[in-house]
Structure 1
Amino acid sequence: FYWGEEAINWGLSGPMLRASGIQWDLRKVDRYECYDEFDWEVQWQKKETH
């Protein structure tokens, strides 16, 4: 698994980037197509610590 900056350094994007704990989605950031017409939040994975 890759987390945070490591995922960015590997060039991960989309679901892989969000699964690594980065709350970023091009559809939200760049107002891609019609996505800005919907009320939605970026789905991402928080790193669990045990």
Structure 2
Amino acid sequence: MIRGVVVDDESLIRSGFRPIPDAAEDTEVVASVPGGRAALRAQRAGLPAAGGAR
């Protein structure tokens, strides 16, 4: 299972990209955040970083 975070400052872009990896059997989007700092906070909170690495 590949888990990742969708990161973009535009919420419309994030909402548009989120269904793409969710449609695949072996991928899951665990968070959608507005920027790099939010992605780092999500990772520190225990969510996977982009690419599924912890």
| Normalised TM-score (structure 1) | 0.27
Structure with the larger strand share: 2
* Structure whose alpha-carbon radius of gyration is higher: 1
Structure with the larger helix share: 2
